[in-house]
């Protein structure tokens, strides 16, 4: 087929529509919903996942009930259950060397041919590292999470934050580079939630107990050690 036709807006739209319709059909039992012009490559979905318009995902695993808002781009990332990923979020952009190498340009260390040519026959720098996002994490609009970072359960990443290092569970971080603003709960409450692992409960349990989720103290009092696994 003519390359000009393949690159036409109509063909790109049709190709994405067909691919996403196929993905939704294959994952129909999981209630998958893909937004307009979303692009998904090598994705493992959970149950009740949703992407909004123009989301790009590459090498991503998504847990149950996690959604990704419009225009976000995520690569090489494992995302837990009940996560909220805001719009225009960038996760896994790749790296360039900043030490030892004379130049940061990939033509000297990468075989990916970013400019159509490379001077090396082998990869000389690890451009991509996996990213791990725990359960119940909220990533605000326009946040950036760099390669190799791990985000703990229950963390909140403020809008426009640039996360360059690991984030502790139930921490709120913001800024560039992102720094901890505060903890969401006190130490004993955090320990309880991490041990309790409510996100691993089945959907029936969540539906029967959702009313306890609006107050951490009531939640802990309602779900004592007898519920711990």
CB-CB contact of 14 with 6 (8 Å): no
The upper half-sphere exposure of residue 186, i.e. CA atoms within 13 Å in the direction of its Cβ, equals 4
Is there a catalytic annotation at residue 223? no
* Catalytic residue chosen out of the listed positions 56, 96, 105, 135: 96
Residue 191, CA distances (Å) to 2, 83, 175, 194, 205 in order: 59, 20, 26, 5, 21
User: For the purposes of burial, counting CB atoms within 10 Å of the CB of 29, is it exposed (0-12), middle (13-18) or buried (19 or more)?
Assistant: exposed
CB-CB contact of 212 with 219 (8 Å): yes
Total H helices, total E strands in the chain: 5, 15
DSSP 8-state assignment for residue 181: E
| Token digits of residue 195 | 């041990």
The upper half-sphere exposure of residue 81, i.e. CA atoms within 13 Å in the direction of its Cβ, equals 12
Give me the active site residues, please: 96
């Amino acid at each position: 087929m003519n390359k000009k036709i393949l690159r036409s807006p109509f063909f790109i739209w049709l190709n994405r529509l067909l691919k996403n319709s196929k993905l939704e059909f294959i994952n129909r039992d999981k209630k998958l919903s893909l937004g307009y012009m979303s692009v998904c490559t090598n994705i493992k979905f959970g149950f009740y996942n949703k992407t909004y318009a123009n989301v790009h995902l590459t090498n991503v695993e998504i847990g149950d009930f996690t959604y990704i808002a419009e225009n976000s781009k995520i690569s090489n990332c494992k995302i837990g259950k009940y996560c909220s990923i805001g719009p225009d979020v960038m996760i896994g952009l790749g790296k360039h060397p900043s030490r030892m190498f004379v130049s940061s340009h990939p033509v000297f260390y990468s075989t990916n041919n970013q400019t159509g040519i490379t001077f090396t026959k082998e990869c000389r720098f690890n451009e991509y590292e996996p990213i791990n996002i725990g359960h119940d994490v909220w990533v605000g609009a326009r946040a950036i999470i760099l390669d190799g970072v791990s985000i703990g359960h229950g963390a909140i990443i403020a809008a426009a934050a640039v996360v360059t290092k690991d984030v502790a569970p139930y921490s709120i971080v913001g800024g560039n580079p992102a720094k901890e603003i505060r903890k969401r709960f006190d130490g004993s409450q955090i320990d309880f939630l991490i041990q309790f692992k409510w996100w691993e409960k089945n959907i029936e349990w969540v539906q029967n107990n959702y009313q306890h989720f609006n107050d951490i103290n009531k939640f802990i009092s309602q779900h004592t050690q007898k519920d711990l696994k």
